Chain A
């Protein structure tokens, strides 16, 4: 990574102070996105809460009206009263079940919907953001943005309606307490706010720790992704130990971060547990005092203490929400970085620039992947419509970069790239894709069938066209031999194919679109000479003639070209026919005659060798 972005991302941004406000904003966003499910969940939660409180009062009433008289010396009880009590309690239970369904399904579905929605958005951004952005971000990190960060952002949504319901419940409870007795209500007024404040303190202290953990999670994922991506190299070099150590170092850091999260939680959770109990005890003391004063009766006292007991658990739901907020903020920040990433390369609105072969021109193009490190310097050339031009140059001279600019995967820093005289920046995505097709140097095969890979569901790419392209790319023979022909799934990145087979599938993909400009970036390197010859021959005879820009070293390929552009170190050094360049440009001559010269030298060497051998033999004979 050459940019400063990851370094900046390495610093967890969440500080304790504003985490609650920011967390609340994230939650608010979630509520706005899913108002219906949220409402269902909150209604369910309130129903549940009311019934929990209701139950406390009902139990109090039952004790006072049914149990106490019954248990009083000489007391009795009617079957009707008992059945009524039982029915009331069971009915409330059923009501609670209803509430639970509403709350849990509402909250769960809301959480899943939010996750899915932001996964759609994040991955949608991935697809829209330009190559230059992708080049700056590790695949593993992007994976974790779409997965664990989105998950983290909406983690508190699950207990959120419960917490909202609990707040409602608390209001009802405190009101109910006031109805019973003001002194008892004051106990509630003290205990519940203290609970809340503790939660706030906790989540503030928690914020930096969870941000760090979330950040490390992404790093662990990035290392794993890279390491599994390069598994073959790791294996062939036997570096499993080294890789494991690299992974372990991060995994241990993550462990430490998680332990520190856990320790804080360990401190906080038991405290949060005990506080409502203290409330219950306080209610007992105050209640006794009020009982003594004759302000309340025993039944009411029991009601109130019972209320504190049943509230103890739901109150913790607030803690869960607040406890997860820091992680949600950390996750959301990382998600938002993707959603707000700029540098998008907007397409223009221009339609197709013509019919028949297209003309490509570079005018004074300057380009560098990183500022300050130019790769192309003042590159100008034109590929006239219908011509085949070979792009030749030593390794690392900028050929692929030119190909990339021509397909507008990147934009030049200066100068213009034009198709039929129209700046590619003015063309719509569809116009570009239907005009130019690039066969990249490294074949990329999708996890799809042969048909899917070649046709890409583009209009007009029916099976006939697919077979035709496969035939031109000399891929028909092996595709016919595949177990399910066109329907054979090729596996992730085409693992079930040989290198040359992959290349031919991508070649067929380009041909199937019947482009007006075909760019072959060394696209036949893993193809045998014989096959390449056949491919080139059929390309020439194709009915849909296209202009062709072909990056090549082989003489036969070059011979097919009308013209050759020779580049060195990002500069167009020469431009002309093969014969012209061969006689005037030494660099070019060295490049394309390298094999011949090598062979000539080898023959000379072996010639000497056999001379030597001959003389040795002569000596032996002489001796």
Chain B
């Protein structure tokens, strides 16, 4: 399929990503000036040592009458003092950096998480769950890792580069020009590699997502895999994604090493150029021995950051690849957007429904393209307080209808109105509290039954909770469980039987107390006796609200005020059950005949 098409990894530049990232996490800039200042001061320590050696050689060692220990000791003492100060500054710098960056990243994590929930259902489904999870976990971890490790080093070394360049220029601006000239080609080469490298890392991040998707599938589908004895097949598919990821990692690594080894060559060039030019300058009397020696030390200090870059820029690329994936998600506009404060609230009281020439087609393939229409110009009114059943063949568009009704998706054409208000202009806060759907595949959280019901209304007291079960006639059932309401339901509810899961999902929707309740096969796995009982109690307690129930079991249709028959995306019949069955040869009459055949 189609919707599965991964959003293309954007091989955007490192700096663009960093800029984007900083714009979206302004917290990162908090106190940045102070941190940078501390970093610069902590750098002074490094530059202090070569200076001390130069001073020592020129003033303490090369003096007439042999080394002067007093001078040497004084110089060393001063340098140790400077080191003590700069080390302390280094500590505070790192503390600030970690605190600020971790705070910012935690916020980013939470924002990305929230944003993923705000995306439309179809957007969410267009990515594998593993990929979504990686956006708020391992992608962000790469940034953390980088900041904790490389970020500091990069910052510190950036400082080191600046400070040493300044000190070097003080000793000899001519030699400094020579050094910079030696590094120029390397800079050009590294820059040229950056784009490819960025692409390689982006690809490798993408591969992780695919890999996690495969792992997730083999874990969730464990029982099917085992039942069909296809663990080798699944294993092979999994292995492929693991190996693909490894290949992507290697490619990035090869590029990175090649690119940055140019730095090492530049370092050798710089050092030899300094020796040659320095000596010539010295012969010319422009530089002293001590100065030249100090300069050679300084060149090493200048080179070091470049060497370190070979270790760190690697991580930077990885981090920006991760970062840009998080940012991509954050910048994806929800296509079913909450009008928020521009929106209106639904009018008080029971809701009526109006589908106005609604058509729908699911997206297919590339963004913007759609597949065939699955609903065709559906035009209907459901008066307030009626109980409507929607029936039709598999794949006829019933669930699609329900998703449009609850605004999980927006129609391709036409509009849905609730009590005269276009759905698109209703605030989500109002919509979600007044309109609740029990989806076809009821999902429970890994918590107790009570917690799952409270998901809909966290303020529910124990008494209210028990009352809700009692009202639906399910109290006996839940009290019959070993731990009653405290029974843990397991992941996705898998420690309950499928029918039991549906019961919990139903109670959860019931306590949400909606004015429009949409049930998509909400009791398809519940045994007939329980279903019939439930139906009756539900009818009683939901009287006064509008309910739309999708069901294959026509008992639901019989009990409804009105039946809507959908066939291949078109509403072909509607009316009360008793009336519909009187049309021989109609789709409904056939469905009903078959139902009778099956239940008698």
Contact = CB atoms under 8 A, between A and B. Distances in A.
A530 B592 CA distance: 9
A236 B268 contact: no
Interface string A402-428: 001001010000000000000000000
Contacts of A404: 223
A391 interface: no
Given A127-B218, A258-B102, 12 more contacts: A70-B283, A104-B253, A231-B116, A233-B455, A240-B118, A244-B113, A258-B98, A440-B224, A456-B233, A457-B233, A489-B2, A596-B600
Contacts of B152: 269
9 closest A-B pairs by beta carbon, nearest first, are A93-B268, A238-B432, A433-B229, A262-B98, A500-B394, A266-B94, A270-B90, A395-B499, A556-B598
A533 B275 contact: no
Contact of A126 (B113, B215, B554): B215
A313 B307 CA distance: 9
B193 interface: no
B130 A105 contact: no
A67 B62 CA distance: 15
Contacts of A598: 532, 535-536, 555, 558-559
Contacts of A373: 482
A154 B471 CA distance: 56
A262 B496 contact: no
B490 A2 contact: yes
A22 interface: no
A498 B298 CA distance: 69
Kindly name the residue among B106, B137, B524 whose own CB sees the greatest number of chain A CB atoms within 10 A. B137
B113 A247 contact: yes
Interface stretch (A11-19, A376-384, A587-595, A611-619): A587-595
A263 B268 contact: no
Given A231-B121, A278-B80, A85 B272 contact: yes
Contacts of B324: none
Kindly name the residue among B243, B311, B492 whose own CB sees the greatest number of chain A CB atoms within 10 A. B311
Contact of A310 (B61, B91, B300): B300
A501 B91 contact: no
Contacts of B33: none
Interface residues of B, number: 205
B412 interface: no
A492 B128 contact: yes
Interface string A230-245: 1111111111101110
Interface in B231-249: 231, 233-235, 238-239, 242-243, 245-246, 249
Given A89-B275, A488-B1, A409 B226 contact: yes
A544 to B, nearest CB: 17
A142 to B, nearest CB: 5
B538 interface: no
Nearest to B499: A395
Given A63-B296, A265-B94, A433 B227 contact: yes
B441 interface: yes
A232 B509 CA distance: 13
B289 A67 contact: yes
Contacts of B503: 395
Nearest to B432: A238
A438 B307 CA distance: 60
Interface in B536-562: 536, 552-555, 558-559
B221 A444 contact: yes
A529 B557 CA distance: 13
Contacts of B371: 483
A257 B497 CA distance: 39
10 contacts: A120-B239, A143-B133, A225-B129, A247-B110, A288-B67, A309-B300, A394-B529, A433-B230, A498-B399, A525-B524
A385 interface: no
A284 B293 CA distance: 14
A578 interface: no
Contact of A255 (B105, B213, B488): B105
Given A236-B439, A240-B118, A591-B527, A292 B67 contact: yes
A151 B246 CA distance: 12
Contact of B530 (A115, A395, A496): A395
Nearest to A225: B133
A94 interface: yes
Given A447-B4, A489-B4, A259 B99 contact: yes
Contact of B124 (A96, A231, A236): A231
Interface string A244-263: 10011001101100110111
Contacts of B53: 280, 284, 305
A236 B402 CA distance: 11
Given A221-B137, A237-B432, A555 B246 contact: no
Interface residues of A, number: 192
A496 B552 contact: no
Given A101-B257, A444-B221, A596-B599, A123 B364 contact: no
Given A237-B432, A433-B228, A594-B532, A135 B490 contact: yes
B103 interface: yes
B110 A244 contact: yes
A62 B279 CA distance: 10
A491 B125 contact: yes
Interface stretch (B259-267, B342-350, B376-384, B414-422): B259-267
Nearest to A533: B594
Kindly name the residue among A82, A254, A530 whose own CB sees the greatest number of chain B CB atoms within 10 A. A530
Interface in A423-479: 429-430, 432-434, 436-438, 440-442, 444, 446-447, 456-458, 478
B56 interface: yes
A68 interface: yes
B296 A306 contact: yes
Contact of A237 (B76, B310, B362, B512): B512
Interface string A70-98: 11000111000011011111101110110
B594 A230 contact: no
B212 A109 contact: no
Nearest to B114: A244
Contact of B529 (A124, A231, A590): A590
B162 interface: no
Contacts of A217: 137, 141
Interface stretch (B7-15, B42-50, B167-175, B461-469): B42-50
A236 B437 contact: yes
A238 B61 contact: no
Nearest to A91: B268
A70 B280 CA distance: 8
Nearest to A430: B229
Contact of B441 (A1, A128, A499): A499
A555 B296 contact: no
Contacts of A262: 94-95, 97-99, 102, 148
Contact of B597 (A71, A397, A533, A591): A533
A102 to B, nearest CB: 10
A24 to B, nearest CB: 21
A252 B104 CA distance: 11
A93 B282 contact: no
A419 to B, nearest CB: 14
Contact of B76 (A82, A143, A284): A284
A112 B219 CA distance: 23
B144 interface: yes
Contacts of B477: 395-396
Contacts of A112: 246, 249-250, 253
B297 interface: yes
A237 to B, nearest CB: 5
A119 B246 CA distance: 11
A143 B215 contact: yes
Contacts of B308: 313
Nearest to B242: A119
A239 to B, nearest CB: 6
Nearest to B438: A236
Contacts of A441: 498, 525
B289 A228 contact: no
